[in-house]
Amino acid sequence: MNFETWEPVYGQILDDFGYPREGDQRAREALRELVEDQTDGNATAAVEETLAGLAFEGETVAVAGGAPGLEDDLVAIERASVVVAASNAAETLRTLGVDVDCMVTDLDKVPETAQELATEGVPVAVHAHGDNIDVIESIVPAFDIESVIPTTQARPTGPVYNFGGFTDGDRAAFLADAMGAERLLFPGWEFDDETVTAEKRQKLAWAARLLRWLERRRDEQFALLDGRRTELDVSSFG
């Protein structure tokens, strides 16, 4: 996913939520500076080396979401050869004794799990956006920086990548796609959770649309979108 393809969709997301682009850009720069400071200016090479270890070509990747049903969906995990966990799904899976190959997070939940995984050498895609600059600046310095993959939803720069996606879950899917995954499975996902806030429901709606876009780009059908494709309009995504 190059930024020129992503940017028109990103613009629609910003407009829908009323988020300022400048906030994402400030967050990106804060994360970039932290990573560069901790790698003595060799951040780009360090991140490239970490990404090289995420070669998913030919692999079935479980993109694990943090919905309460994840514990009941371990069959999908067992069918996968790689597990990419979104946010608190990483903690749930570790509690169940399931190894995680990569975590994708904006650090709004279980930051201690992200830190533990990074210390163990598990890649953690840390995402910077306009609402989490303080969290980035307070938590990332404690990470084993060699395991951090810095990401942004704004224009990528230096060691900070943009693989596409908006929420932790769909960004995990876009990351797996970028790393060459042959097939994607989606245990632990729930789009219709009425217990969450209105903003969270809006984010889940965007996650569904973005996954619909991704499956079209991949010429693949994701089972979690069965029965809802007709309501997911991605005609403006290109």
Given this model, what pLDDT does residue 194 score? 82
Q: What is the DSSP string of 107-149?
A: SSS-HHHHHHHHHTT--EEEEE-TT-HHHHHHHGGGS-GGGEE
Kindly report, residue by residue over 173-227, the tens digit of the pLDDT.
Answer: 999 999 999 999 999 999 988 888 999 999 999 999 999 999 999 999 999 999 9
DSSP character for 146?
G
Bridge partners of residue 60, in order along the sequence: 183
- The values of phi and psi at residue 67, to 5°, are -65, 155
Distance CA(231)–CA(238), nearest Å, equals: 17
- The values of phi and psi at residue 180, to 5°, are 95, 15
Kindly report, residue by residue over 40-96, the tens digit of the pLDDT.
Answer: 878 999 999 999 999 899 999 999 999 988 999 999 999 999 999 999 999 999 999
